[in-house]
A and B are shown apart, each in its own frame.
Chain A
Amino acid sequence: MRFENLVKTYIYKKGMPNMRFTFVPHPITGVAAEICRKYLQGNDPITGKSVLQEIIAALTDPLTSEDTKTGFIERPTPRLVEPDTADNLHKLFLENRWTDGLPIVLPTEARVAEMLKGTSHGADEFVGRMQPSSPHERWSYTVEKVAVNAVMAGAKPEHFPVILALASTGMTSISTSTTSFATMVVVNGPVRNEINMNSGIGALGPFSHANAVIGRAWTLMSINLGAAGKAGETYMGSQGNNYNYNNMCIAENEEALPEGWNPLHVQKGYKASDSTISTFMGWGFTHPDQSFGKDFAPQIPFWLKFVSPFSSATLLLDPTIIQQLKNNEGFDSKEQLIEYIQQNTKVTVEDWLDDFYAVQNFVLPMARLGNEPFASWMKLPKDELIPQFPNTSRISILSLGGGTNLFWQAGDFGYSRTVSVDEWR
């Protein structure tokens, strides 16, 4: 049963290890009422007992002494692993699922001490807390713990402030959701060039040590510091997401931005001379083609139709595209283009409501609470056109690539937050 371990480990962590539960066959989503009835009249697929009888027993059977216990269960994490040979330790890390499945650099005391030289912060300083998703428990970690995972990822001390900044967000890169989320980290400011990040030709490819290890460190931190990535317990993504290996770790190509087009961190209120990381969350990117003989901007709304109406959009534009938008189509800033996209990307109310999963889980509950614009949109005629993205904050634009051709990528990623790297130097 796909959810049995999730339920058992979850109720243990919530302090009620004997909470009573029963299962019906899965899935329920999209199943007709009569099938639901049949499931309820049948047996729990795990215990083989009647579902209804298990429910009644859960309500009426007396508690045991174990059920009423109070107190605390401490779970200390030892600082060191039992000494062993390098081969055996590699095996142990792999078997304990402390890795992403790829070989790691063993975090010896000497290597971790070297990594700690990359920051002025003390090894014991608290950095943050991370959880696989909001209902799950949050684990805490120090600078030293972040250094251990940075070493494992293959990072160098010069990468460490960026990795610490990422850790300070407390954001996991491996969310529990059955939808298989992915994340993205965007580095801005002088630190990009100081550590030789690649924002030019092949910016998204495996061509830069810094891009590779910073992205990987986020995955290892999510697993080891944020309790994520245990399939069937803290990870339920049905298909998984290949982006989870590196988390789209990129540096914005700020040097290619024309006058008036600000880099992401300046858009978010930082100075151009500040170094920052920004995090995004979504599911994927695609590589739309375009008609070279026509203006580029009017083609964007068409290509964004694949994005869920309740989602966000992020465009990764090659500098050649940005130059065309600026010089030939009159867009003098990212903000101007974002506003154009928000105003010109529309869907009918009927199509919007057809996004079953998002509407059922988020739109309807928010509309019932009176949240706008959803409450008003729900009352409109089915053929009425509404913005696909309710506001401009749902749209992000980044400069990325080496200018070898007029290509771009678009995805359903939404911006989360920006934090300082300089504070972790």
Chain B
Amino acid sequence: MKKKFWPWITAILLAALSISGVSQAQEPAITVLNPLGQPPAIERVPMAPRIGNLDGKTIYIVDIGFTDTHQLFTEMQALLEAKYPRTSWVVRTKRGTYFNDDQELWNEIKEKGHGMIMGVGH
């Protein structure tokens, strides 16, 4: 008697799978709104001309004021001075916190410097 149940069970399973497949295929496509805000356009900023060689040049190393950046940059200054003695390596700390602008320093670098290294010792 038991054997007679198997074809029925198989048929029911196949029917169930078939119904489920039909249901999936017929799930309607819906339209939803994009949740993202509008990013601003990006304005491409041309990079400053490079200096070719370092001889006789002044390079500013700017500490933005974050924790141990100053120590990292004074070490960097010492290493660069030893390796490139004909270049002037100037470490400066930006005024205020790292959120503040320092137009005076930028003006000074534009006037007296040939290049700038800026970074964060995080």
Contacts and interface: CB of A to CB of B under 8 A. Distances in A.
Interface of A: 3, 12-16, 18-19, 24, 26-31, 33, 36-37, 39-41, 52, 55-56, 58-63, 67-81, 83-87, 89, 93, 98, 106-109, 112, 130, 134-135, 137-141, 144-145, 148-149, 152, 178, 220, 224-227, 356-357, 360-362, 365-366, 368-369
Nearest to B57: A59
B52 A60 contact: yes
Given A13-B42, A357-B67, A226 B37 contact: yes
Most chain A beta carbons < 10 A, residue from B36, B76, B97, B122: B36
B34 A78 contact: yes
A85 B34 contact: no
Contact of A75 (B42, B51, B53, B78): B42
Contact of B47 (A39, A41, A67, A226): A67
B56 interface: no
Contact of A19 (B47, B72, B121): B47
> Chain B's interface: helix, strand, loop or mixed, by majority?
loop
B28 A28 contact: no
A72 B41 contact: yes
Given A68-B47, A70-B46, A36 B75 contact: yes
B38 A141 contact: yes
A80 B31 contact: yes
Interface size grouping (class) on chain B: 35 or more
Interface in B1-42: 27-42
Given A24-B72, A60-B54, A16 B35 contact: no
Given A37-B79, A85-B28, A89-B32, A137 B40 contact: yes
Nearest to A69: B44
B36 A224 contact: yes
A74 B41 contact: yes
> Chain A's interface: helix, strand, loop or mixed, by majority?
mixed
B117 to A, nearest CB: 6
B90 to A, nearest CB: 14
30 contacts: A15-B42, A28-B67, A28-B69, A29-B67, A30-B68, A33-B74, A36-B72, A55-B76, A59-B54, A60-B54, A68-B46, A68-B47, A72-B43, A80-B32, A84-B30, A93-B35, A112-B33, A139-B36, A141-B37, A144-B33, A149-B35, A152-B35, A224-B36, A227-B37, A227-B39, A361-B65, A361-B67, A361-B97, A362-B97, A365-B97
Given A40-B75, A361-B65, A77 B37 contact: yes
Nearest to B53: A60
A33 B35 contact: no
A138 B34 CA distance: 18
Contacts of A85: 27-30
